[in-house]
A and B are shown apart, each in its own frame.
Chain A
Amino acid sequence: MRLSIKAICASMVLSALGVAASAQAPDAAELLARIDGNQAFASIAYEARMEIRIGGQLRVKSMRAWAMGADKAFVEFTNPEDAGTRMLKLGKDLWMYFPAEQDTVRISGHLLKEGMMGSDFSYEDALESDELSSIYAATVTGEEDLGGRRVYVVELKARAQSAKYERRVLKVDAERYVVLAEDMYARSGRLLKTMEAVKVERVSGRWYATELVLRDRLRKDSSTTMVMESLELDPALDQGMFTRAALER
């Protein structure tokens, strides 16, 4: 689900404001504020396809997801192998429901580093919900061309223990204010993951990346593509959907 919120929101900077690019780059604090502001949608619902490529082989997971803000999300997998498996995110806690066993399991802290459903996303990625401005210090380090689009290069450095990555480098579309690429680094300086937005669409007046590619650089020849379909912004969702009772219903 952070697939969407982070992979959408964190990857789509400033789209809520939808302002045209200016000749002068905004300062970093303003950029972060716009990023965080963009994440503050009331609710979202979508269907998605997760294409996991490892060593030339492809595995596809499909899902439906609903979220309220950054702290509540509900995902149900619909591909045959995982049909009916559900995930509930409440703050920093993650629960999974397995239909065959009718069993609900909280994903313990020591298991959070595992790849989610075999993808390049870890459960920790899914749980990350802090506002960027609260855990990172930002600097606009320049502008460059990326695939024919002018982008601002924004460097984030962790200033809170809760930051999952020590350093992140965002490339923000200067016209549409969408993150088109992101590199995520460990404390050692090693590149851990990269994200690339390969498709950007206008949804409900906002620019959104609806197709993202995440690569875990610690895995050889591996990538996960997230394709979002049927995206609805601010649909009316029931709060009761984000409960353990709903997970098991």
Chain B
Amino acid sequence: MRRPSELAAALLAAALCAGPLATAAFGQAAAPGKPSAPSGPESSGEASFAAAGAWSEGAAGAEDELRYGSDASLRLTLDARRPGVRASFSGRVDALTGTAASAALAAGDGLGAAALGTGEAALALSLDRAYLRWSPGPIVATLGRQVVNWGAARLWSPADLFAETAIVGLEPERAGVDAIRLAAPVGALGGVEAVAVPGIAPADGRYGARLYGYALGSDLGLQAAWDGGDGSVTAALSLKTDLVVGLWLEAAYTAPASAFFDLDQAGYEATVGMDWSVGGKFVVSAEYRYRSDGAESEAEALEALSSGESYPGSHYVYATANLIAGDYVSVGASAIADVGDAIASATAYAVVDIAQDASLTAWASYASGSFATLAERRYAGVGASLSLAF
């Protein structure tokens, strides 16, 4: 769930209204035909309409549920650059009808056709990015809502100390966070970063740093963060390389700051994954995740869910397969399995590029239970969406 962003909203207002920042960010547009002087503002967006229906097994003694809904959405992205300054905004409004509406509101941000429930209609707003970036020389400062993407894994990324990943639509997506970020390059392909997510009370914020680079054909990253909320420190590493197949490895170690080397109080998390392209038309990937303090009961899972953990178990596998089935058609499938709790889900989909910047997507999914609550309630759904970029 994405938090409200006072900081991002304030920065956005500063950028869109009159003022020194706005002048700097939205000054003269680039003269046409001068590619060496990138500037702005530039706008783009996507309009889409999705409809979906689902069946889910009732809880003990309850009737099964049939749900349906639609989601008409508009995403708008504004981007402006002047030498040394950039402002970026991406937001989305969703008009939800049918039984999608109340589920979206109940979930807080359950946007997209996958959000189904009971209700009539709702309007939902979300802010994906809203930041100002200032780069006086090699140092880059970014303020506002942004994706702090430190991991290489797809769905479970222990090295992402500031970004939560979730399946949005058909693909994993990292969520933005309201942060202050300083970055400096080290060589052409490396760098150091410091990130602060102060929150409402700075003492309860989260602060971290990262060193990353590229060597011997591999992406490497070392990062650490201190969480003022629970007093913990997390140290993590990420590695991505290419040995005929693409391989990635991430690991994180979390312990109280006051007893960082006390292994009895520490938690571990690791992800390994691979992807492989066959003939440029068929791509498969698989990822395994382990965490040492996984939930072992529905009660523990619910407790983890309350703190935002959607995959509370210890052992998970995520696998995908995508095939370019024609000049304008691709098909694919993905599956997630909670190995320890014998819960699995699968989704199959087809995407048709129907015109310039327009695509039609259809999907069907099935789950044997809930990953978040470990409840064994079967679920099946189908849907379709039409999208147009502009």
Contact = CB atoms under 8 A, between A and B. Distances in A.
Interface of A: 45-47, 54-55, 57-60, 64-66, 76, 78-81, 83-84, 90, 93, 95, 99-104, 106, 108-111, 113-115, 122, 219-220, 222, 229-230, 232, 235-237, 240, 242-245, 249
Contact of B149 (A80, A101, A242): A101
B20 interface: no
Contact of B240 (A59, A78, A106): A106
Interface string B247-281: 00000000000000000000000000001110111
B353 to A, nearest CB: 8
Taking chain B's interface residues, is the majority helix, strand, or loop, or is none over half, making it mixed? strand
B356 interface: yes
Nearest to B45: A80
A57 B45 CA distance: 23
Contact of B36 (A66, A81, A99): A66
Given A244-B188, A245-B191, 15 more contacts: A54-B328, A55-B327, A55-B328, A83-B79, A84-B77, A99-B77, A99-B79, A101-B147, A110-B246, A230-B35, A235-B36, A240-B185, A244-B191, A245-B140, A245-B183
B185 A115 contact: no
Interface size class of B (residues with CB under 8 A): 35 or more
B277 A245 contact: no
Interface stretch (B128-136, B226-234, B333-341): B128-136
B36 A45 contact: yes
A244 B35 contact: no
Contacts of A244: 185, 188-191, 214
Nearest to B278: A110
Interface in B166-213: 173-174, 183-185, 187-191
B149 A230 contact: no
A45 B35 contact: yes
B342 interface: no
Given A47-B33, A76-B38, A110-B245, A249 B356 contact: no
A47 B128 CA distance: 29
B328 A100 contact: no
A66 B189 CA distance: 18
